[in-house]
Amino acid sequence: MIERLSRRVSTKPYIESSELRRLPDSTGEAIYGIVMMGNCTLCNSACLRLLGYSDPVELIGKHMHKIMHHTRPDGTPYPSDECRIYLAFRGGEGSHVDDEVVWRADGTSFPVEYWSYPIRDQNVLIGAVVTFVDITERKRAEHALQQSAEMFRQLMENIREIFFLVAPDPPKMVYVSPAYEEVAGRPRLELYDRADAWIDSVYPQDRCHVRSVFEQAMQGVTTAMEYRFSRPDGSVRWIHARSFPVQDSQGNLRRIVGIAEDITDRKRTLEEMDAAKAAAEAANRAKSEFLANKSHEIRTPMNGIIGMTELLLDTELTPEHAEYLQMVKSSADSLLTIINDILDFSEIESGKLQLDATTFDLRKRLEDVIKGLAIKARSKGLELLLTVHPGIPASMVGDPTRLSQVLTNLVGNALKFTDRGEVVVEVRKEVESDNFATLHFSVGDTGIGIPLEKQQMIFDEFSQADSSTTRRFGGTGLGLAISKRLVGMMGGQIWLESEVGRGSTFHFTVSLELGP
């Protein structure tokens, strides 16, 4: 086909050797020649292949525009007198186009980049040579790039957070999202002039810290900070900003990316919550303090009522009066138990409760507690057993009353929540060192048990595993809360194991000084 060109165009041949003749067929670029009318004089094999023809005769002599350039990318007709190739070479000029398509033999099209050059024979324009390449892949990559740039732009332009990219050394703002203007009330442009211009508007007390963090960020340190920003309208906004270094494959710092958000509203809510919590705590403390201060005034009349009722019960009474009085006594006893729980808890909460440090006989104390509860056990037909394991020191220093209170509470609960079987109290020594011993107490029962999801909550004040408990068994829900705090004050911990329907075992440890 190169032959044909040399023949038709008939000037001094372009081709001066056989090697040179082979060149056009060896390139991936499509090449064809046309005469002034636009008819094809030659085409190389890449041209045939790209356009979907197999033999040059299918193109030679044909009007190339009509064959492969007749329609624009948008599907509208492309008349040849508007064709940029034709217009250019007829004016004696070359052209370069990369936004058009050419059409294959099978009616499909593909995007091309083409160049056309006029051919002259002794200064007379005789035609043109056109080269083109298929840029489908390039267009696809460009499109993908455009799409991802567009997505990035949409994301950045629409997020409420300020997103920024800074090139370090010296700091140069590469990009800052429009949210900056919204949050700071200042133009973004100032940051492109000077990357740290925003620091001028940072609240004076925060500025020094902010500048030092900014400098660290520019060194490639990952940073996070909170600061206040003064807006031109006089309002102050709280900002939370984070920055991260971006390195190239050699580990050199390329950019700093960051995000800053306006946390004023969140901060205000937190402050309000803190204030509300502090107020609630203060009110709770005030209530506990009031009760703790009044504990004497509250207990004394109750003791008066109970004492006088007991005296009256020892006098001559009709059976009816004796029965009524007995009911007064038992109601007063229950009320005193509840009052004692509430007062104890208030005393602990207000920090007024002090533990004694007296020397006592642990074994004797335990026996007293068991004896005190034996009547209740017997009345319910339950066995109440005490096992003191070997190695328990004979005398210890601590607060025996409070220790007994914890035990009484746990054994009392065990008896309360068990209808059949036994309650077993065990004590063993866990560690002994430096004049101190840690004792491990356990109170096991064969009662109703406590569901797993309730096992933590029952140590909270006024909490009962089952809301029907108060109705069935009474109680304030304070016993375990008091026990937990007392055990904590005695350097120990309290926990439990339980299975519904099989029973519960409460454990606690205390650390006590060894007695003389």
Contact residues for ligand ADP, defined by CB under 6 A: 409, 413-414, 417, 445, 447-448, 450, 458, 464-466, 469, 475-481, 504
Tokens of 264: 């004023």
Closest approach, Cβ 493 to ligand ADP, in A, equals: 16
Q: Nearer Cβ to ligand ADP, position 30 or 481?
A: 481
Q: Angle, to 10 degrees, between the axis of helix 479-489 and the axis of helix 319-349?
A: 40
Is the CB of residue 118 less than 8 Å from the CB of residue 125? yes
Is the CB of residue 346 less than 8 Å from the CB of residue 292? yes
Q: Nearer Cβ to ligand ADP, position 44 or 446?
A: 446
Q: Nearer Cβ to ligand ADP, position 133 or 424?
A: 424
Closest approach, Cβ 461 to ligand ADP, in A, equals: 8
Residue 95 CA from chain centroid, whole number: 58
Closest approach, Cβ 440 to ligand ADP, in A, equals: 18
Q: How far apart are CA 240 and CA 258, in angstroms?
A: 11
Q: Nearer Cβ to ligand ADP, position 351 or 451?
A: 451
Is the CB of residue 126 less than 8 Å from the CB of residue 36? yes
Any bridge partners for residue 309, and if so which?
A: none
Q: What type of residue sits at position 197?
A: A
Q: Nearer Cβ to ligand ADP, position 4 or 507?
A: 507
Q: Nearer Cβ to ligand ADP, position 88 or 414?
A: 414
Closest approach, Cβ 448 to ligand ADP, in A, equals: 5
Tokens of 172: 């140069």
CA 344, 366, 401 angle in degrees (round to 5)? 25
Q: How far apart are CA 352 and CA 295, in angstroms?
A: 11
Sheet holding 30-35, edge to edge: 40-43, 30-35, 124-134, 109-121, 95-103
Nearest by Cα to 445 from 416, 478, 477: 416
Q: Nearer Cβ to ligand ADP, position 201 or 442?
A: 442
Is the CB of residue 483 less than 8 Å from the CB of residue 410? yes
Tokens of 287: 């209530």
Q: Nearer Cβ to ligand ADP, position 139 or 440?
A: 440
- When CB distances to ligand ADP are compared, the closest residue is 475
Q: How far apart are CA 313 and CA 95, in angstroms?
A: 124
Q: Nearer Cβ to ligand ADP, position 24 or 479?
A: 479
Q: How far apart are CA 195 and CA 131, in angstroms?
A: 48
Closest approach, Cβ 294 to ligand ADP, in A, equals: 22
Closest approach, Cβ 341 to ligand ADP, in A, equals: 7
Q: How far apart are CA 459 and CA 479, in angstroms?
A: 8
Three-class SS state of 148: helix
Which helix (H) or strand (E) is 209 found in, with range? Answer: helix 204-218
Closest approach, Cβ 419 to ligand ADP, in A, equals: 11
Closest approach, Cβ 469 to ligand ADP, in A, equals: 4
Is the CB of residue 95 less than 8 Å from the CB of residue 113? no
Report how many helices (DSSP H) and strands (DSSP E) the chain contains, helices first. 16, 17
Which helix (H) or strand (E) is 511 found in, with range? Answer: strand 503-514
Q: Nearer Cβ to ligand ADP, position 377 or 448?
A: 448
Closest approach, Cβ 401 to ligand ADP, in A, equals: 18
Q: Nearer Cβ to ligand ADP, position 258 or 475?
A: 475
Closest approach, Cβ 204 to ligand ADP, in A, equals: 54
Closest approach, Cβ 423 to ligand ADP, in A, equals: 9
Tokens of 249: 């494959």
3-state helix, strand, coil in the chain (%, to 5): 45, 30, 25
